[in-house]
Amino acid sequence: MAGVIARPPLPAGPFLVVGLARSGVAVARALAARGEVVVGCDAGAVGDDVRLELEAAGVRVAAPDEGVELLGDAATVVKSPGVPQEAPVVALARRTGVPVVGELEIGWRMLPNPFVVVTGSNGKTTTAELIGHIHRWAGVPGVVAGNVGTALSGLEVDAADVIVCEASSFQLEDTVAMAPEAALLLNLVEDHLDRHGTFEAYRDAKLQAFARQPARAIAVAPPEWLAALPGDAARVSFGGPEADLAERDGALWWRGERLLAAGGLRLRGAHNVLNAAAAAAVTLARGVPADAVREALRTFAGVPHRLEEVATVDGVLYVNDSKATNVASAVAAIESFAGGVHVILGGRGKGSDYTPLAAPVRRRAKAAYLIGETAAAIHAALEPAGVPLDDCGDLERAVGAARAAARPGDVVLLSPACASYDQYRSFEARGDHFRRLVSRSGHQ
């Protein structure tokens, strides 16, 4: 495997960390541990536990506080990914020439380990975890972090660890020098328009993962996206019949050599065949032996909240796909089943068009059960599908209605196509509630 790309030094302190959720807390603590002067602010209230944790680490906490009055004492602003560019302190910093960087950028500069950055609209967590699984199967220590699990700047790693970093558009838009040894673009579909405004702005944020890669780095993408990738990295394609990691004749092929049958994967769905192809492409291109990649693909069972088979109750399979927070992801989930699907949809919208749901619902679903703020919009989009639509309002009523209607051999699928924040603090909390409701069904 190629060597590690040199990191620039950290920007100058003192630091003002804006946003004190998971990433902000991690980066504030990491900077303070290096002896830097750090102030953390948040426009909302922070819990006493967070305040005490940061103050014990030597970080002064101002919350609720927009941070505008604190900017005069800062040499660098570190912006947490959940903070929009329009936040007053961020906008003022940019106007007055104070550097603004993201937590991901700081974490990358702190860690002199090889990085594999995974981005895209759908499949990031599954693919990142699969890449970590492949490395570990090959005897290469691998740590998965970033947008999944531990915040990058909070990682404690050994020198031999490969860091597999899931990266969202919110994280990548605030990178300024980050140049990973390998970067992988899974796909790009309309998402997060409520934050980025246009698909082009969303796309450009994602492509920051590639923008500064040198020639000795690796850039992996579907064939149709290779030409759009910025940067100078060597290009590797996956997915098409003529790609470097090709899918054809019911199998995956690496540069003309058969790797394994697609049916040998434990993951369900055509979209997961592409995720497996992407993971294989980036690891093989980095020099992981083909035998290790093959066996790791055969043994990987997936991640929680992504087409997670929770239980079979009275002959009905219950599947938790709470991580499907956009339309394309929900479409892929519905299409993963031959039919008999009772799909639960809805939550907080992200400016998406829900009409693409109608065709897979018509083909695969017996009924749809609608919840959350987007229920009315999804109802209107699904009317042409010609299946029963039940406006349930919340998840408990939706699971109850689906349970009453489902028959042996059917599937009850939570695949919301929306964010969770109208009724839950996270997609994990929504998925956990679904699991509890299913468990309760099994004991009635």
| Catalytic machinery residues | 124, 147, 192
Indicate if the alpha-carbon torsion angle 152, 296, 222, 339 is positive or negative: negative
Quote the tokens at residue 155: 């990682």
What's the farthest any 2 CA atoms get from each other in the chain? Answer: 65
- Cβ contact 350:419 at 8 Å: yes
Q: Under 8 Å CB-to-CB from 201, ≥6 apart: which residues?
A: none
Cα 346–Cα 349–Cα 351 angle in degrees, nearest 5: 140
Instruction: Indicate the pairing of strand 115-119 with strand 162-166.
Output: parallel
**Residue labelled with tokens 């690796």:** 218
Residue 387's region, left for phi above 0, alpha for psi from -120 to 50, else beta, is: beta
What is the C-alpha to C-alpha distance for residues 437 and 429, in angstroms, rounded to an integer?
Answer: 12
Distance in angstroms between the alpha carbons of the first and the last residue of the chain: 55
Residue 352 token pair: 């998406």
Pairing status of strand 100-102 against strand 76-79: parallel
Question: 218 with 233: CB under 8 angstroms?
Answer: yes
| Cβ count near 387 (within 10 Å) | 18
List helix spans (H) across 212-357. Answer: 270-285, 290-299, 327-335
Instruction: Give just the sign of the alpha carbon dihedral 274, 413, 81, 129.
Output: negative
**Alpha carbon distance 176, 190 (integer Å):** 24
Output the DSSP codes for 388-413: -EEEEESHHHHHHHHHHH--TT-EEE
What backbone torsions phi and psi does residue 370 show, to the nearest 5 degrees?
-110, 135
Q: Which residue intervals of 193-315 are DSSP H helices?
A: 193-196, 199-206, 270-285, 290-299
